[in-house]
Amino acid sequence: MEIATREFKRCAVIEVSGRIDSATAPQLAAVLHDYTDKGQYNLVLDMSDVDFISSAGLRVLIDTQKTCERLNRGRLVLADVPEPICEAFDLAGFVALFDFYDEVVEAVGTF
């Protein structure tokens, strides 16, 4: 897994590539917590290059979303999610929990 981040005026974009599984999810959690710890609750996860995400990764996303949405102070949104991952999100009832955007620019544009 590789993580690249970009900070914009009203949100941060976290671009993950590779696998988000039990081995790598803690790394992603650390990066997301860095943002929420410093008060950045508007986050875009760019998933275009994610090959795989297991429930270990889903748990990180749920935990982060809980933190972001508390007090209506922000939200974590998901951008450019590959089709097989979309279907797996559906199994986990994820569609109701996150806003999905086809492109990162749309996600950034909502903040």
Partner 1 sequence: MSLVVLMPRTQTRTFPARYESLAAIDRFVAAAAEEASFDECTVYQVELAVDEACSNIIEHAYGGEGSGTIECSYRIQDEELTVILRDQGQPFDPETVPEPNLSANIQERTGGGLGLYMIRQIMDEVNFDFESEAGNVLTMVKRKKHSMR
Q: Applying CB under 8 A, which residues contact its own copies?
A: 6, 8-11, 13, 104-106, 108-111
Residue 109 near which of partner 1, its own copies, none (CB within 5-8 Å, type-dependent): its own copies
Q: Which residues contact 11 (CB under 8 A, 6 or more apart)?
A: 40, 42, 43, 44, 107, 108, 111
Q: How many residues bind partner 1 (CB under 8 A)?
A: 27
DSSP code, position 99? -
* Contact yes or no for 28/35 (Cβ under 8 A): no
User: Which residues bind to partner 1, rule: CB under 8 A?
Assistant: 19, 21-23, 52, 54-56, 58-60, 62-63, 65-66, 69-70, 83-85, 87-88, 91-93, 96-97
